[in-house]
Amino acid sequence: MDNISAVIEALIFASESPLPLEKICAVLDGVDKTEVKDALDKLIAGYEERQSGISVQEVAGGFQFRTRPHLAVWVKRLKGTKPGSLTPAALETLAIVAYRQPIVKAEIESVRGVDVSAPLKGLLEKKLIRILGRKDVPGKPIIYGTTKKFLEVFNLKELADLPTMRELTEITEQQGMLDLEAAEENTGGQETILQESIGEESSEVISEVIAEDDIDS
């Protein structure tokens, strides 16, 4: 077989979404999983050693090419348009769904204290959350949860990687980084990162959510 690392590099580049290790192994039928993992590690290390403009990262249950965060300003100039961002209301709603899923609309509103119809609609349109089904109670309310795109946008391998309250506090003291268009536009697996301030009010609401229902990472 050709250089396994080169083959894996081509597969990740051609994939429209994060490529799982199991899928890579399935394509490289006959190659031992340990050998595939070693070749993948070698590929990742090679990009790190060269300090390339892109890197291979494990995100949303798979591997994907992503641009370096500090180069976002240049990629933004190339695209010439401002990537989508989340409003404080949408960010607060998303945080509640992420940390308390599966969850219904009434439960989200009990935390925020306001109607969340608009934020939920926007998050569904951006494919950051999805409908999991209906709760078996009177009225059969819709149950919401996050999507793989949510993990991809926020650079998470899995939900267990969500920050704890202490980690979130450190993050929100700086500027948050997210790009809501990256997953949709990434034909070559490249990500543009837009720096947006989360805001003190949203940070406080999200911190309260985590404090009440913390997830160990």
Cα distances (angstroms) measured from residue 46 to each of 3, 56, 67: 14, 10, 15
199 — phi, psi (to 5°)?
Answer: 100, 140
**Angle CA 75–200–120, to nearest 5:** 70
Q: Are 153 and 179 in contact (CB under 8 A)?
A: yes
Which residue segments constitute the domains of the chain, with CATH numbers given? Answer: 4-68 (1.10.10.10), 88-212 (1.10.10.10)
Question: What type of residue sits at position 62?
Answer: G
pLDDT tens for the chain, residues 1 to 217: 568 888 999 999 998 889 999 999 999 888 888 899 999 999 999 888 888 888 898 888 899 998 888 887 888 888 776 666 778 888 888 888 988 899 999 999 998 889 999 999 999 998 899 999 999 888 899 999 999 888 888 888 888 888 775 665 565 554 344 444 444 444 333 333 222 333 444 444 444 444 444 433 3
Residue among 195, 181, 196 nearest 79 (CA): 181
How many angstroms separate the CA atoms of 32 and 118, rounded? 49
Strands 62-67 and 129-134, how do they pair? Answer: unpaired
User: pTM for the complete prediction?
Assistant: 0.62
Report the distance separating Cα 42 and Cα 76, nearest Å.
30
